[in-house]
Structure 1
Amino acid sequence: MSVLPILIWPDARLTQRCEPVLAEPLDDLIADMFDTMYGAQGRGLAAPQVGVMKRLFVMDCSWKEGTPSPMVMINPTIMAAERSPVVADEGGLSIPGVLVSVERPKAVTVQWTAAEGDIHMADFDGFEARCIQHEFDHLNGTVTFDHLSGADRARAEAEFLERNT
């Protein structure tokens, strides 16, 4: 397959809400997204990050530890989230080189369609839950900067621009 170009913030497509995936062929896109994610040393990649404004993402939270567990989530829905939030630093392929502290629930219940068309529902916690929420944000046009207050956001954006211009 092939490696796709990753959109970099402040590309306007990263702020747009994606459309649901309907009955359409996805095998090539999914393979290209995995190639792109692994090539960029990422653990998750949402379709809008490669300019495809559809509600799907790929992730593999354990491949860097030597145990690949690739997942595809098409039209995901977060059905429930634990009330106890956890703050952790997050980076992203569309905002390279900048980590920001983001508060998220430490566990979520997600429903999604897999690549083969089966509907799944499962509970996720820890890093997998954070990765799912991060990629889910992309489907809604949200980036990590959007989780920051005005002054913190201004600092993070300035750091990004300094590193990437």
Structure 2
Amino acid sequence: MQRRSIPGSSGRRRTVRHFGDPVLHTPCAEVTDFGPSLAELVEDMFATMYAARGVGLAANQIGVALRVFVFDCPDDLDRRHLGHVVNPRLVLTDGPEIGGPEGCLSLPGLEAVTARWDEAVVEGVRVDGSPVRVAGDGFFARCLQHECDHLDGLVYADRLGPLRHRRLRRAARHTPWAGTDRGRGRPAPD
């Protein structure tokens, strides 16, 4: 019996970009090269996500402006969802919009109540180009929407109302990571 490798076990941990870095606020390009470098990127993304104790990670969060995300996320029934999507498209959102606490590896230590649809479906391909369809509800649906937002150049703060957005930006300025990326991670002033 052949054992499958654990995602990220051969990857290297990369630096997570912080809120305010331009790469997080620019829509990502479609992947066109499905060679070994894409598989290496996905492995590095898993390694980085696990090291940071996240449940999802988009490629632009490590400075690569390509439409790729990885996930290892439970749903509301604590079922584990593990995988990756290349060139994802959010094809369906449904159910009620639910406000819930949301955090992000690019805004470590911060969270805000953010409204998300309770059901989501994402379609795309795997690193080998084969089609993939991922459906989720509850917390996992939140994760899918969050990662798709990243690839469109959005962070959850962009979904907040003006007052909550201002509060989050103010809190971000007082974090240990603010301005640690030689200017890349510094949030813009209100």
Q: 2:24 aligns with which of 3, 10, 14?
A: 14
C-alpha distance in structure 2 between counterparts of 1:61 and 1:99, whole Å: 17
Matches within 5 A, 1:112-127: 112-127=124-139
* Deviation at residue 93 of structure 1 after TM alignment: 0.5
Structure 2 vs 1, CA of residues 68 and 81 (structure 1 numbering), >3 Å: closer, same or farther? Answer: closer
The alignment yields a C-alpha RMSD, in angstroms, of: 1.6
Q: 2:65 aligns with which of 50, 53, 62?
A: 53
C-alpha distance in structure 2 between counterparts of 1:133 and 1:68, whole Å: 17
Query: TM-score by structure 2 length?
Result: 0.80
Is residue 40 from structure 1 mapped to residue 52 from structure 2 by the alignment? yes
Unmatched 5+ residue regions in structure 2?
A: 1-10, 179-190
Structure 2 vs 1, CA of residues 159 and 51 (structure 1 numbering), >3 Å: closer, same or farther? Answer: same
AA at the equivalent of 2:19:
W
> Which 10-residue stretch deviates more, 18-27 or 39-48?
18-27
* Deviation at residue 37 of structure 1 after TM alignment: 0.2
C-alpha distance in structure 2 between counterparts of 1:108 and 1:68, whole Å: 16
Alpha carbons 2:98, 2:116 under 8 Å: kept? yes
C-alpha distance in structure 1 between counterparts of 2:53 and 2:132, whole Å: 27
Query: TM-score by structure 1 length?
Result: 0.92
Match of residue 153 from structure 1? 165
AA at the equivalent of 2:82:
P
Structure 2 vs 1, CA of residues 36 and 22 (structure 1 numbering), >3 Å: closer, same or farther? Answer: same
AA at the equivalent of 1:140:
D
Structure 2 vs 1, CA of residues 144 and 60 (structure 1 numbering), >3 Å: closer, same or farther? Answer: same
C-alpha distance in structure 2 between counterparts of 1:4 and 1:30, whole Å: 11
Match of residue 88 from structure 1? 100
Q: Which has the higher helix share?
A: 1
Aligned to 1:106, the other structure's residue is in SS state strand
AA at the equivalent of 1:45:
L
* Deviation at residue 68 of structure 1 after TM alignment: 5.9
Q: Give me the identity figure in percent.
A: 33
Task: From the CA coordinates, give the structure whose radius of gyration is larger.
Answer: 2
C-alpha distance in structure 2 between counterparts of 1:69 and 1:150, whole Å: 33
C-alpha distance in structure 2 between counterparts of 1:6 and 1:67, whole Å: 27
Structure 2 vs 1, CA of residues 69 and 150 (structure 1 numbering), >3 Å: closer, same or farther? Answer: closer
